[in-house]
Amino acid sequence: MNKAELIDKIAKDANITKTQANDALDAFTGAVVGALKGGDTVTLVGFGTFSVSARAARNGRNPQTGETIKIKARKVPKFKAGKEFSTKISGIKAAKK
């Protein structure tokens, strides 16, 4: 599902316009990003927790040349699914490709 499909689903389920659904989704993602930038975590009970994790500097390798390169330390977003969310997903059979 892409963003447009998600907006369609939200609009249909909440009985609102697609514009309102898009605004709501943008507000949600903006709030999560803003909180994470500010050093907070965002916990949605039953769904999961968004947080920031620090990744240490390390040495890597350029796959084309085999040359060793230095990879800088950085912060990365992380999501940990909640128990209720995980339970709902584990009951779904994998789709055949």
- Between CA 70 and CA 67 the distance in angstroms is 10
CA 76 to centroid of chain Cα atoms: 11
- Per residue in 60-86, pLDDT (tens digit) is 999 999 999 999 999 999 999 999 999
Residue extents of the structural domains in the chain: 1-39
pLDDT tens by residue, 32-62: 999 999 999 999 999 999 999 999 999 999 9
